[in-house]
């Protein structure tokens, strides 16, 4: 089951790359932006509850799809890019076992314990 879920996430990452390829951006933009959603971990400087909330907000695929859809609907390339990056990053994180966080610990995720 674990491998099946990783394949699903890999397919979503590939989809995000294909969507990015449809935009008029240089490839280095994708590389430069792919880790930006991890800035949301700054919430852990305050406490685990704020940290988990911010991390989960920026790593939730509903937000990624909503931002992507609005960007496509409005023909707004930067917003479309943001949605693609959120989707790609979330899928990439889950391939590596980093799931959405519970508010008791950064290492406690919906995919199990990290480490």
Q: How far is CA 71 from CA 13, 43, 63, 82, 93, in A?
A: 18, 27, 12, 8, 23
Task: Quick: pLDDT tens for 47-96.
Answer: 999 999 999 999 999 999 999 999 999 999 999 999 999 999 999 999 99
More confident residue, 111 or 33: 33
| Residue among 97, 69, 64, 98 nearest 83 (CA) | 64
pLDDT score of 59: 97
- Predicted pLDDT at 113: 84
For the chain, which residues make up each domain, given as ranges?
2-113
pLDDT, tens digit, for every residue of 31-51?
999 999 999 999 999 999 999
Nearest CA to 77 out of 23, 17, 35, 13 is that of 23
* pLDDT at site 9: 96
């Amino acid at each position: 089951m674990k491998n099946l879920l990783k394949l699903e996430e890999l397919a979503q990452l590939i989809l995000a790359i294909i969507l990015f390829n449809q935009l008029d951006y240089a490839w280095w933009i994708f590389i430069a932006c792919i880790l930006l959603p991890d800035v949301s971990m700054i919430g852990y400087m305050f406490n685990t509850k704020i940290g988990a909330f911010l991390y989960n907000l920026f790593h939730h695929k509903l937000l990624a799809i909503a931002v992507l859809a609005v960007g496509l609907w409005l023909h707004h390339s930067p917003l479309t890019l943001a949605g693609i990056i959120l989707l790609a990053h979330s899928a990439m994180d889950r391939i590596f076992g980093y799931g959405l966080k519970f508010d008791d610990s950064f290492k406690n995720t919906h995919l199990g314990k990290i480490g």
